[in-house]
Amino acid sequence: MIEDRIKSEIVQRTVLSELIGDSISLQRRGNTFVSCCPFHNEKTPSFHINDDKGFYHCFGCEVSGDAFQWLIDFKKLSFPEALKELADRSGVQLPKYSAKDKEKISQFQLDIEFMEWLKSWYHKQLLANSSSLQYLTSSRKLSLDTIKSQALGFSPKYKSFIDDIPADKQKWVEIAQALGIIKTSKQNRKYDAFYGRIMFPVLDYKNRCIAFGGRVLDDQQMPKYINSAENRLFSKKTVLFNFRNAIDSRQKDIIVVEGYIDVIALTNVNINNTVATLGTAISVLQMQNLWKRQCIPILCFDGDTAGLNASYRATKRLLPDINVNNIFTVVTLPLDKDPDQIIMENGKQKFYEIVEGSLNIPEFLFQFHFKNINQDDPNHRAKAELNLINDIAEIKDNILKRNYTSDIKDKIFRFSRYKKKTKLNKIPSVQTSYFDREIVKVIFMNPDLILDVPEIEYIDIYNDKINELLQFMISTFITEYAKNDNNKISVEDFQEIVDSNFPDLLKSVVNIKLPAFDDIFTRREYIQKYIASQNKKDRI
């Protein structure tokens, strides 16, 4: 373990602007340097480097770090590699590796060499096997480009990689046994543990193969999915499938799905900001790998009872580790659907709309606990409230806990007061807020309605994100209208203000197709009917 003193000395000796300036163009601004951020797309520079503090920070995507973090995040180096590069650059002498350390490094390199060879061998078998290739292209609708870019493979039943290991690489047999890829039968015969399966290589943060997942092709007597056992290369609780590609997509939102089939289906339609766990529940370590890169994970599990319960268990498990900077949201898919099915049946845009309707943590927990209860029974409501409060109490970050507690108290008050008969057993996703989005679009396109229909101020949309957008639109129009000398704000100016504050969310609203309107009176009537129907629900 490198001493903090040595790391500190390296950071002090490294001129950060020179290090980063080797890779991107910088401009001096006073005592700092600025550039367009290399970690997200932007037109105005918001990436700042301070040599005095040895620190960089982006005010756009909130990424930050020192010289070590720069090499790890931008150049994708491991910590030991970053340490060596910075030590050589700064002239700091590193302690010598012990014989044991050198042996571990040598073994790791041999393991990776074998795994990379095996990944290539499986891939060649897939391209040469028409039935397995047809399964992926016809049944799973994957393009050949996706199959090649993901290096998908096939392990034949009646042919083993063991027979194709080069004569001068026979040590690989021992490595394969140690990594759990070769197993031995009762008859003392060595065989491939993944035989008869489509192969999904699992890569580390440097895109090196460290494990495999396998899906059975046609034998129903075999387990459908198996993954590499934990070994000296691979830990299920720390690795996420497709992690490097998702980070390289440079999107802040990272969609976490249940399996690699879902990831492949999404990448097949160029949704690359997707990762999957490997046969285990999402762990704190996996989430921390995303959080430390300033990502916001979106849990997107299957739309059945098991998937919903898995989302709740994951949320409950992660509550002690969230804070104002490390959060996540939860997507609830349509009943009995998974991401792969939605993509194949409804397409990419539909999936985007559903993800856009993801629920924040207090909203998801509220929906989960109050589903299926007898809303007229105070004992049922009390039990649901107790469970919800107990969950929020698990949060250690006091600021977040205080705000979440305030939020759920408001939700419980509204629920108890109006006793809405919403079917919470189907936790609302984007489908349940489609008409809400219609209304918001009508108002966005015709802001004069905010004054013409005063009741708009009392619209209460259940989706927190859409409700926040609506309330911003109302307050913005009224404020701008009041301070304008002519008491008139143009539609274009109003829309520009809203768009600058809610660019991504607004897209999901503007893309909604509206009914045909003849004039402003029809629009007003449409809004009034919506408000009337909402009030009717409140009185039920």
Q: For the chain, what percent of residues have pLDDT higher than 70?
A: 87
Other C-beta atoms closer than 10 Å to the C-beta of 203 total 20
Alpha-carbon span 282 to 270, nearest angstrom = 24
The bridge status of strand 64-65 relative to strand 153-155 is unpaired
Alpha helices by DSSP H, listed for 179-224, are: none
List the structure tokens of 317: 């498990």
Work out the average pLDDT over 343-366: 90
The radius of gyration computed from the CA coordinates of the chain, to the nearest angstrom, equals 27
The bridge status of strand 47-50 relative to strand 32-35 is antiparallel
**Model confidence band, residue 20 (pLDDT cutoffs 50, 70, 90):** very high
Other C-beta atoms closer than 10 Å to the C-beta of 189 total 8
Residue 253: strand, helix, or coil: strand
Alpha-carbon span 42 to 61, nearest angstrom = 10
Q: For residue 536, what pLDDT is reported? A: 44
Alpha-carbon span 204 to 221, nearest angstrom = 31
List the structure tokens of 347: 């397409």
| Cα angle 263-131-351, degrees, rounded to a multiple of 5 | 25
Work out the average pLDDT over 384-406: 94
Q: For the chain, what percent of residues have pLDDT higher than 90?
A: 39
**Model confidence band, residue 119 (pLDDT cutoffs 50, 70, 90):** very high
Per-residue pLDDT at 49 exceeds 60: yes
Length in residues, the chain: 540
What spatial distance separates the first Cα and last Cα of the chain, rounded to whole Å? 65
For residue 173, what are the contacts with CB-CB under 8 A and spacing of at least 6? 162, 165, 182, 190
**Model confidence band, residue 219 (pLDDT cutoffs 50, 70, 90):** low
Q: For residue 149, what pLDDT is reported? A: 93
**Model confidence band, residue 530 (pLDDT cutoffs 50, 70, 90):** low
pLDDT, tens digit, 9 for 90 and up, residues 433-463: 456 777 788 888 888 888 877 777 767 666 6
pLDDT, tens digit, 9 for 90 and up, residues 489-503: 788 888 888 888 888
